[in-house]
Amino acid sequence: MSKSVIKVVAMSCLVLCTVPTMAADGKILTTAGLSQVEGSGGGGLVPWATLAGYDSRDETSASFFITDVNVTDYRLTSIGVATSFYDRVELSYTQQTFALPASLITGLSLDSEDIKQDVVGVKVRLYGDAVYSTYPQVSVGLQYKQLDSDFVASYLGAKDDSGTDIYIAATKVHLGAVAGYNLVWNLTARATKANELGLLGYGGPDNTSYQVMMEGSVGLLLSPNWIVGMEYRQKPSNLSSVEEDDWKDIFISYLPNKNLNITAAYVDLGTVATKKDQTGIYLSMTGYLW
Amino acid sequence: MVNLLKASFLALSIFLVACATPGKAPQSLYDEIGGQPTIEAITDNFINEISFNETIYRYFEKTNITRFREKFIEHLCVNTGGPCTYTGDTMLRVHQGQNINETDFNLTVDLLVNAMKKAGLTYPQQNQVLKVLVPMRGEMLYK
């Protein structure tokens, strides 16, 4: 993790911990969840049905997040903002920077060592409240993604440099379900053409149409402020030139108040663009502005 | 590493199943948290929390606190499986006309959690009390 990112995170923590009156606080602590790597409210890898803020149905909220995924040969940084309106609609914008290893940069004679992508997300809550309703909270969403440059994507055989993922997510908190502790689970079905989140383009020689991928999360609230859990994200494999694996993680999140959350995870991304066994550390922080 | 993840997923699953299976005869939540003295302590703490919270206190300005205390104790006792009879009004009748919004409702839940914490309930016990009260939310919100 670069020094500048650490500085930003440290400063944000400081500001948010000392200014406790700014955030929308109509929801119960932890029910805003975390920030997902593509900017939607969720877990870390998987978008959830919960919206990215503590707004109740009479409030609005805004948040920003930084996520840094540092694996064996790659590093992905996501920085974004999200707003949520009346616990109904969530809008998000995220920029992803995917740093490539030197061997790939020289091998492909790239003029940039990063692949950058913008993601615009919209999510609408259709039904329920993850804590209170009998059935799980259900939301639908989409993530429109656009690569800054299609050089690597087209070199690998991807069809497009932009794409839209469409998902439906269900999230439920079961109070006192596990020896009195609260259990949360989420299940998401995503229609996508994206190769490695779209960082390697959309579609490819092996497949050009939408495929439905399943994503899931399960977590346990150890206290009002601590959650441990794991996630699984199924991925398509559209490019014959480079293999793509499903992603997994084990996470621990600390949510001291409704202004801040911090997550650390161990991620296993499998093979990413010819590099095997991409494992490493995922760090993420969300700050809630109001 | 995939194996480690698989193993930990399996371990968590087994843990969850094991915990979900009660090993002994079920004791009522009422007895588990300490019976009538605890229920009374929660209620007194809750009244105290409300009286120091400007936002929530305004819903109680015209409330007969003695009656509220008595009925709330009965309500908590009955819903946690204690040997009481609830003689108060329905949740709908009690909350009707107040137009309680979601923010204030959740804030009151926080006050109740504080009250339970101060009465010595563990986090799992607090969760279980909330669990039995949650189904009544529909009769309280925006009525």
Residue of B nearest to A31 (CA): B106
- Minimal CA separation from B12 to chain A, in Å: 9
Q: Which of A47, A67, A65, A59 is nearest to A84 (CA)?
A: A59
Q: What percent of chain A has pLDDT over 70?
A: 92
Q: How many separate domains does chain B show?
A: 1
Say what the pLDDT of residue A109 is: 82
Are B12 and A182 within 8 A, CB to CB?
no
Cβ contact B102–A178 (<8 Å): no
Query: Rounded to a whole number, what is the largest CA-CA distance in chain B?
Result: 62
Q: Which residues of A touch B102 (CB under 8 A)?
A: 26-27, 56-58, 87
Query: Distance, in angstroms, between A166 CA and closest chain B CA?
Result: 28
The reported pLDDT for the residue numbered A110 is 82
- pLDDT computed for residue A108 by the predictor: 81
User: Is residue A122 predicted with pLDDT exceeding 50?
Assistant: yes
| Residue contact A181–B106, C-beta within 8 A | no
Minimal Cα–Cα distance from A231 to chain B, Å?
10
* pLDDT category of residue A24 using cuts at 50, 70 and 90: confident
Name the one residue in this structure whose structure tokens are 């991304």: A269
The verdict on residue B67 lying in a domain is yes
How many domains does chain A divide into?
A: 1
pLDDT value of position A20: 46
| Tokens coding B71 | 């009925």
Q: Per-residue pLDDT averaged across A185-209, rounded?
A: 96
pLDDT range class, residue B24, cuts 50, 70, 90: low
User: Residue B44 is part of a domain; what is its CATH number?
Assistant: 1.10.490.10
B59 domain-assigned: yes
More confident: B75 or A6: B75
> Structural domain of residue B68, as residue ranges?
29-139
Report if residue B64 sits inside a domain.
yes
- CB contacts of B103 in chain A (<8 Å) are 25-26, 56, 58-59
Domain-embedded: residue B78: yes
| Per-residue pLDDT tens over the stretch B82-106 | 999 999 999 999 999 999 999 999 9
Alpha-carbon A28 to chain mean position: 21
Question: Is A175's Cβ below 8 Å from some Cβ in B?
Answer: yes
For residue A127, the one-letter residue type is Y
CA-CA distance, B6 to B4, in Å (whole number)?
5
Average pLDDT of chain B? 90
> From the CA of A218, how many Å to the nearest CA of chain B?
10
- Reported as a pLDDT band with limits 50, 70 and 90, residue A282 is very high
CB–CB of A230 and B106 under 8 A?
no
Positive or negative, the Cα torsion across B109, B113, B114, B115?
Answer: positive
Mean pLDDT of chain A: 92
Would the pLDDT of A15 be above 90? no
Domain range spanning residue A270? 3-288
| Pair of tokens at residue A215 | 């994503």
Spatial separation of the C-alpha atoms in residues B50 and B68, rounded to whole Å:
12
Q: Which residue has the higher pLDDT, A220 or B12?
A: A220
Q: Please check the confidence at residue B12 and state whether its pLDDT lies above 70.
A: no
Instruction: Name the residue facing A26 among B103, B125, B134 (closest C-beta).
Output: B103
Q: What is the pLDDT of residues A233-262, one digit of tens each?
A: 999 999 988 999 999 999 999 999 999 999
Residues in A touching B137 (Cβ below 8 Å): 132
Contact: A179, B103; criterion CB under 8 Å: no
Render pLDDT for A67-92 as a digit per residue (tens, 0 to 9): 999 999 999 999 999 999 999 999 99
Least confident window among A239-243, B37-41, B109-113: A239-243
pLDDT single digits (tens) A35-68:
999 999 999 999 999 999 999 999 999 999 999 9
Percent of chain A with pLDDT over 90: 84
Integer Cα distance of A284 and A216 in angstroms: 19
For range A256-274, the mean pLDDT: 96
Domain harbouring A13, CATH code: 2.40.160.40
B-chain CB neighbours of A230 within 8 Å are 5, 8-9, 12
In a domain, B12, yes or no: no
Give the closest of B113, B125, B134 to A180, CB-based.
B125
Six token digits for residue A143: 């993530």
pLDDT at B142 over 70: yes
Question: Residue B3, SS3?
Answer: helix
